Amino acid sequence: MAAIQHHGDVSGDPSSGTGIERLGFPTAVVGAALATGVGMIPVFAGINGNRMPPAATVSAGWVALGLAAALLVDRPATRRVGSVFAGCAVVPAIVGGVALIQDRDRAWPAFARLWDRYGWLIVAAALVAIALSVDRAYDRMSRRRLVWLVSWSAALFGAVLAGRLTADEGRAAVVTMIALWAFAAAATRILLTGELRPIVEPLVDAALVVVAVAVSGALGLGALAAGRWSRLPSPAASAVFVAVAAAALSWPLGIWLRRRYLEHRYGRGTLTPADVAVITEGLHRDADPRELLAKAAAMVAAASGHQEVNIVLGPDEPDHPRDQDGVFLHHALVVGGDRVGTLAIRLEHPEGPEQRQSQVVTRLLPTVSLVARAVELAIEADQARQDVARERDLERSRILGDLHDGVGPVLAGLSMRVQAELRRDPTPLLEVLGKELADCRGDLRRIVSGLTPSALHDGDLAGALARLVDSFAGDGRTVSLRTGPTLGPGLTPEVTVAVYRCVAEGITNALRHGDPSQVIVDVGIGVDGRIEIDVCDDGTGGNVVPGVGLTSLLRRAEQLGGRLHVEPAQPTGVRLHVELPVAGAAA
């Protein structure tokens, strides 16, 4: 359970410096320059006409360290190692001094002898001193810096030794000088640069080059052998041509391999148009906008080379449960000053992401923030819509409940009164009143049951339809229901309610206008996967003028992406046909 809050890059402490430095007089640099000047004395002393003896050449190599010192001592982070470099610049002068003490009269030969005998040892000592003076904080860059420096030191020392063992004194001196200059340049760059790659990367580069050269060479040798065997006029030329061609062809392959390797380590570094296409792919189709977050997180992971990236909505800092091992780096997603979420990155390395990975993430943060905000708004809108719909249903239930409780008893009481009178003294008027009151009670019942979705609270559509249809039967008419076996599971509440209301309104309509003896309700899933509802009656039929009920039904069907139409049935009657998509509205 661990998380790191990202604080952005911490810039180095500004140099406090001494009084003189604040006046623009960098004493450390002046010191380094002086050391370099002192180190130059043996070089100038050694120049004899246009000839430069080996000892002077070697001394000239050390001067490079002085120049590097001038660049390094001015920065707090490299001040110490810079001082050591400056110290190295004085080495020729010190050796010269020792030679003078040894043999005052023949100082120069003594100087050359010292260099020749102990030069490699002095180089080794200087390298050790430099390595020890490098800042060894336990972070990744410091460690990498040391590794690079030691590698370059090894290369320098190897060159010096190789020169001493294989070449004459003059050449060895030149090799040493060049190696010292190269080391000074490389060390300056290593010590001053902010980001260092792990040393394996150039090794991979080198390995790729070696493989390419080896393969080309082998192919060239093969071509040479083949040319000789087949007695070509100039087998060597063909062999060279083959080798060069192979090398040229392996170049793009090597580049590709290298890029793949770097992508694997650091990600692609940016979002490609293909990535954006993947993110936005199901934008019109997916019902849950949260899927967008998963995709955006995956894209950040791909672009920045992380294995696991999560986006969490809301202002709360996510805490990671114990079973999720690892350390997470949190970036706040902020839009308009409000924290809309958090981008959580699982760190593969305890010291955090590589600098370039952080840069990629930082670059993508505004976009991710906007995506998170958009998704949040979409979710909120959807929830508000559902809240309103539920409120509306509750309100409707309340109104219908009031209607039922208020008008119901009145109708019941009146019915009883009329019936009582009818029993004592039957007249045609009372009979009509009695029948009309009974119809009124039935209508009330139907309005209440037909318009409320609460009959569907248990989600059993087929059962609710059966009860609904039952409630209409009687008075010498039959209302029958046929439901398909697939009806029920997988329907959204909206569609379930719509089906229920279509059936209720369809039967009500048929009974009200057509005076049928039979109403057949057929609800099922059609061949194209849509729900089909048919309400057919054998009543008088005729031109059906859509009333409030049918119109609201039509609107509801259209909202859900379905359709409704009413047509004459054969031989008489009316057929109401409704089609609804199973999943509800598509847009």
Spatial separation of the C-alpha atoms in residues 451 and 27, rounded to whole Å: 91
User: CB of residue 318 vs another protein: minimum separation in angstroms?
Assistant: 4
Spatial separation of the C-alpha atoms in residues 231 and 392, rounded to whole Å: 96
Residues in the interface with another protein (CB under 8 A) total 66
Task: Enter the tokens of residue 464.
Answer: 């609710």
Binding test (CB under 8 A) with another protein, winner from 176, 452, 483, 509: 452
Nearer Cβ to another protein, position 162 or 381?
A: 381
Binding test (CB under 8 A) with another protein, winner from 316, 351, 431, 436: 316
Binding test (CB under 8 A) with another protein, winner from 423, 527, 543, 571: 423
Binding mask 370-409 for another protein (x = CB under 8 A): -----x------xxx-xx--x---x--xx-xx--xx--xx
Binding test (CB under 8 A) with another protein, winner from 258, 290, 363, 577: 290
Spatial separation of the C-alpha atoms in residues 71 and 496, rounded to whole Å: 78
CA distances (Å), origin 431, targets 413, 417, 435, 474? 16, 12, 6, 18
Q: Binding of another protein at residue 410 (CB under 8 A)?
A: yes
Task: Enter the tokens of residue 345.
Answer: 């990155």
Nearer Cβ to another protein, position 56 or 469?
A: 469
Binding test (CB under 8 A) with another protein, winner from 158, 170, 202, 314: 314
User: CB of residue 450 vs another protein: minimum separation in angstroms?
Assistant: 8
Q: Binding of another protein at residue 478 (CB under 8 A)?
A: no
* Footprint on residues 228-287 left by another protein (CB under 8 A): 287
Binding test (CB under 8 A) with another protein, winner from 103, 205, 470, 515: 470
Spatial separation of the C-alpha atoms in residues 118 and 160, rounded to whole Å: 12
Q: Binding of another protein at residue 477 (CB under 8 A)?
A: no
For strands 327-335 and 2-5, give the pairing: parallel
Sign for the CA dihedral angle at 520, 525, 527, 528 comes to positive
Nearer Cβ to another protein, position 324 or 540?
A: 324
Task: Enter the tokens of residue 309.
Answer: 């990236």
Q: Binding of another protein at residue 413 (CB under 8 A)?
A: yes
Q: Binding of another protein at residue 445 (CB under 8 A)?
A: yes
Nearer Cβ to another protein, position 103 or 319?
A: 319
User: CB of residue 407 vs another protein: minimum separation in angstroms?
Assistant: 10
Spatial separation of the C-alpha atoms in residues 34 and 122, rounded to whole Å: 21
User: CB of residue 587 vs another protein: minimum separation in angstroms?
Assistant: 18
Q: In what order do the strands lie in the sheet with 531-537?
A: 478-483, 518-525, 531-537, 574-580, 563-568
Spatial separation of the C-alpha atoms in residues 582 and 587, rounded to whole Å: 14
Spatial separation of the C-alpha atoms in residues 201 and 262, rounded to whole Å: 8
Q: Binding of another protein at residue 424 (CB under 8 A)?
A: yes
Stretch of residues binding another protein (CB under 8 A), selected from 9-17, 79-87, 310-318, 362-370: 310-318
Binding mask 319-338 for another protein (x = CB under 8 A): x-x--x--------------
Nearer Cβ to another protein, position 224 or 400?
A: 400
User: CB of residue 503 vs another protein: minimum separation in angstroms?
Assistant: 12
Q: How many H helices and E strands in the chain?
A: 17, 9
User: CB of residue 581 vs another protein: minimum separation in angstroms?
Assistant: 15
User: CB of residue 334 vs another protein: minimum separation in angstroms?
Assistant: 15
Task: Enter the tokens of residue 317.
Answer: 């800092």
Nearer Cβ to another protein, position 170 or 490?
A: 490
Stretch of residues binding another protein (CB under 8 A), selected from 15-23, 102-110, 306-314, 535-543: 306-314
For residue 323, what is the DSSP state? T
Nearer Cβ to another protein, position 206 or 394?
A: 394
User: CB of residue 141 vs another protein: minimum separation in angstroms?
Assistant: 32
Nearer Cβ to another protein, position 398 or 563?
A: 398
Nearer Cβ to another protein, position 45 or 447?
A: 447
Task: Enter the tokens of residue 285.
Answer: 């189709």
Q: What would the DSSP string read from start to end of 531-550?
A: EEEEEEE-S---PPPP-HHH
* Footprint on residues 516-575 left by another protein (CB under 8 A): none
CA distances (Å), origin 199, targets 141, 146, 147, 206? 11, 11, 7, 11
Nearer Cβ to another protein, position 209 or 294?
A: 294
Q: Binding of another protein at residue 421 (CB under 8 A)?
A: yes
User: CB of residue 415 vs another protein: minimum separation in angstroms?
Assistant: 5
User: CB of residue 403 vs another protein: minimum separation in angstroms?
Assistant: 8
Query: What three-state secondary structure class fits 41?
Result: helix
For residue 281, what is the DSSP state? G
Spatial separation of the C-alpha atoms in residues 87 and 180, rounded to whole Å: 14
Task: Enter the tokens of residue 294.
Answer: 């998963």
Binding test (CB under 8 A) with another protein, winner from 57, 83, 188, 449: 449
Residues 6+ apart with CB under 8 A from 163: 171, 172, 173, 174, 175, 176, 179
User: CB of residue 339 vs another protein: minimum separation in angstroms?
Assistant: 11
Residue written as tokens 């109403």?
519
Main-chain dihedrals φ then ψ at residue 576, nearest 5 degrees: -100, 125
Nearer Cβ to another protein, position 13 or 405?
A: 405
Long-range CB pairs of 454-462 (<8 Å, 24+ gap) are: 454/393, 454/397, 455/500, 456/493, 456/496, 456/497, 456/500, 459/493, 459/496, 460/488, 461/487, 461/488, 461/491, 461/496, 461/499, 461/500, 462/487, 462/488
Binding test (CB under 8 A) with another protein, winner from 283, 420, 432, 462: 420
Closest CA to 546 of 583, 498, 503, 509: 509
* Footprint on residues 336-365 left by another protein (CB under 8 A): 341-342
**Residues interacting with another protein, by CB under 8 A?**
287, 290, 293-294, 310-314, 316-319, 321, 324, 341-342, 375, 382-384, 386-387, 390, 394, 397-398, 400-401, 404-405, 408-421, 423-424, 438, 441, 445, 448-449, 452, 454-455, 457-459, 464, 467-468, 470-471, 474, 492-493
